[in-house]
Amino acid sequence: MSITDIQTSAAYVAPEAPAHPLSSLSVVEIEAVRTVVLGWPDFTTTMRFAYVGLEEPTKGEVLGWDAGDAPLPDRRARVQLLDMATGRSTDSIVSITTGETLSSTVLDGSKGQLPILDAEFEDVGLILAEDEGWLAALAARGLSIDQVVAVPLSAGHYGYVAEEGRRIVRSFVFRMDHPSDHPWAHPVDGLTAYIDTADRRVIEIIDTPGLAVPETHGNFDDPELQGPPLEGLKPIVITQPEGPSFSVDGEHVSWGNWKLRIGFDMREGLILRELSFADKGVDRPVMYRGSINEMLVPYADPHPNRFWQNYFDTGEYMFGRYTNSLALGCDCVGEIQYFDAVLPDELGMPRTIDNGICMHEEDFGTLWKHTDIFTGSHEVRRSRRLVISFFTTVGNYDYGFYWYLYLDGTIECEAKLTGILFTSSFPGDAEDGTAYPFASQVAPGLGAPYHQHLFSARLDMTVDGLSNVVNEIDAVRLPVSETNPAGNAFTKKVTPIMSEAVSGRVADGAVNRVWQIASTEKTTELGQPTSYVLFPTETPTLMADGSSSIARRAEFATKNLFVTKYDPAERYAAGDFVNQNPGGDGVTAYIAGDEPLVGEDVVLWHTFGLTHFPRNEDWPVMPMDYAKFTLKPYNFFERNPTLNVPAPAMSDHCSAGTGHAHESHSAHDAGHAHESAAHGAHDDHASHGHSSHGH
């Protein structure tokens, strides 16, 4: 190994340090990284850049840095390189400030491979076209190579000796009847190739004859299939005549009481950083970093041709690099602020995805409202949210990731799923009439195997600082007893998650289970710890058997929550090198040290998503499906923090929140006395006096 002792290239010119230590890598910084790598004596022209990203300074370094300070002394990038000719893979840290290579490791493959490159995916078609066995298997089905397209996918890890230490992909094949024919409608099922992309050869073909190729096309963009346009839809136009309410300085955003930074990475896509909420003039920290750090799509069909079908779209495919360039009026409507996404291509050259990240404000209905039967007060406020999102296309599926910030301090993250189902040849009903139990039939003879979409949100929380604890809170039913004679009592049980080893938790809607991230230092005036609460939405865990390969590789998905003590090296729920990883990395390794968690700097790993039994309506293109979670302030404030949101501007008629409205109360009261009579039992209480108003 020689590249660790490379001298700084004489030609190296350091780019200017960015405004903030967490600024996303710029075009000139990516160019600088490439200059460093090309200066390595053992650099070869067959090397490709699998990953280049900001090697973030530690949280301590960043929090110790204030705007206006000198830049941190060393700006660093992480660089992962694959030699296409040999499969040799390296993981290095490069100083952008000095041009030095600070560390470099050669991967032996025993703990996983670098992600699959586009160049490898492209090679698969060429490799298959030259393989006699593949051509013969196609011919046996009456097909030639020019009638089909290969769909290569990540291989997983099944302990095959022939695959150890080699770069493997497995490929399905689909028939494509003309240049605008979507091949997903015509799976040539029962035929799979295992390919060594470095050796450029097929190492095995799994051939299970007898499955028909479905014939009905699925061309959702065919005007004939679409039919005559639906009539009667009038335009919806969103205008903000005075412009949006946010202000943007580079990647820094202020909106309402929120402040945050926006970041982009070719692996994780959108990253939200350093979120704080201003309260009485003080910016109170809430979350240091939030991202979708991993996602898994495991399939349920045990058929010999597809039992291995599981995609880690972040770790194996780097879904950030497939970020869409968004279009105004199509992907986003209203007053939109776009951020470009900058990333390297596989030759290490900077590539800019214009308008990769979209930010805008949305009206979100009623924020709060009350019409009071006693005072006549009638107040209503409008809710709005700041939406920050990106869309990525990973093969057949298209995923949107939307973060919402609300005026009341709530944070939501929503995954949106659309695109095209992964398809199979539907085997038909068994002789006893039972349907095939692992796929839906969505068109004649066309199957859509059951699967899950499991997203891992890495939530590096800083609720009022670095000293936090995570409590699991369940609603608890209490039995009839002397103190609960009517049996109506229920209460809540608060269980602190004491250490990493016991942090694996499963959502349970039946007991209203939530996870509270509480400060162990700050309290409200009432003495409660200030906190945020993670509300999971009805959400699955991994369905695959606990002994399966995928369960070992994706322990994060076997639970809805893990909690770890902050460690800058612990970034990805399934580990750094997910492709062909045998398991045991990621969260599994992160919790092995069983660090105590009370009063510590905590990171939450929240798995949320969907179990998808496809339906006819999902074909030939899926209407949007959704999965989400919510983080709400919980005793973070002394009271509703949105009392000062102004009443709707144009509407004397919908709010009594002004002085002149109070003057009119007596008139309203007269009306109320009349209305109250109609309220029945409730107002009988009211007539006894205002003190009994609660209900």
Q: Which residues are catalytic?
A: 313, 397
The residues pairing with 379 across neighbouring beta strands, listed in sequence order, are 370
Q: Is 552 in the site for Cu ion (CB under 5 A)?
A: no
Whole-number minimum distance, CB 158 to Cu ion, in Å? 23
The span of 18-26, 33-41, 90-98, 609-617 binding Cu ion (CB under 5 A) equals 609-617
Report the residue number, 381 or 612, with the smaller CB distance to Cu ion. Answer: 612
**Is 261 a binder of Cu ion (CB under 5 A)?**
no
- Residues 6+ positions from 579 with CB-CB distance below 8 Å: 112, 113, 114, 115, 116, 154, 155, 312, 315, 316
Closest CB to Cu ion among residues 513, 612: 612
Burial class (CB in 10 A: 0-12, 13-18, 19+), 118: middle
Q: Of 401 and 634, which has the nearer Cβ to Cu ion?
A: 401
Which residue type sits at 164? E
Interface with Cu ion: number of residues (CB under 5 A): 1
Structure tokens at 186: 């015509």
Closest distance of CB 334 from Cu ion, Å: 29
User: What CA–CA distance (Å, rounded) separates 585 from 688?
Assistant: 66
- Which H or E run includes 118? helix 118-129
CB of 178 to Cu ion, least distance (A): 27
Beta strands (DSSP E) in 462-576 are 468-477, 490-496, 514-523, 529-536, 561-565
Nearest distance, CB of residue 618 and Cu ion, angstroms? 8
Q: Cβ of residue 357: shortest distance to Cu ion, in angstroms?
A: 24
36 or 295: CB nearest Cu ion: 295
- What is the smallest separation between the CB atom of 453 and Cu ion, expressed in angstroms? 5
Find the shortest distance in angstroms from Cβ 263 to Cu ion: 28
Q: How far is CA 343 from CA 56, 104, 119, 291, 358, in A?
A: 16, 21, 16, 17, 17
**Pairing, β 561-565 against β 446-449:** unpaired
User: Which residues, 6 or more positions from 173, have their beta carbon under 8 angstroms from its beta carbon?
Assistant: 128, 138, 148, 149, 150, 151, 187, 188, 191, 193
Q: Output 182 or 612, the one with its CB closest to Cu ion.
A: 612
| CB-based closest residue to Cu ion | 612
Q: Which of 167/612 has CB closer to Cu ion? A: 612
Residues 29 and 27: their CA atoms lie apart, in Å, by 5
- Residue 676 three-state SS: helix
Q: Is the peptide bond before 437 cis (omega within 30 degrees of 0)?
A: no
In the complex with Cu ion, the residue whose CB is nearer, 20 or 612, is: 612
Whose tokens are 């700097």? That residue is: 601
Nearer to Cu ion, 172 or 246 (CB): 172
Q: Which is nearer to Cu ion, 268 or 618 (CB)?
A: 618
Q: Is the dihedral of CA 463, 468, 474, 479 positive or negative?
A: negative
Would you count residue 612 as binding Cu ion (CB under 5 A)? yes
> Could you give the CA distance from residue 464 to residue 466 in angstroms, rounded to a whole number?
7
* Shortest Å, Cβ 627 to Cu ion: 10
Least separation in angstroms between residue 420's CB and Cu ion is 10
Binding segment toward Cu ion, per CB under 5 A, in 272-280, 531-539, 607-615, 661-669: 607-615
| 440/448 Cα distance (integer angstroms) | 5
Burial class (CB in 10 A: 0-12, 13-18, 19+), 282: exposed
Which two tokens mark 73? 């002394």
In whole angstroms, give the CA distance from residue 580 to residue 156. 5
Q: How far apart are CA 677 and CA 658, in angstroms?
A: 28
**DSSP 8-class letter at 328:** B
Return residues touching Cu ion (CB under 5 A): 612
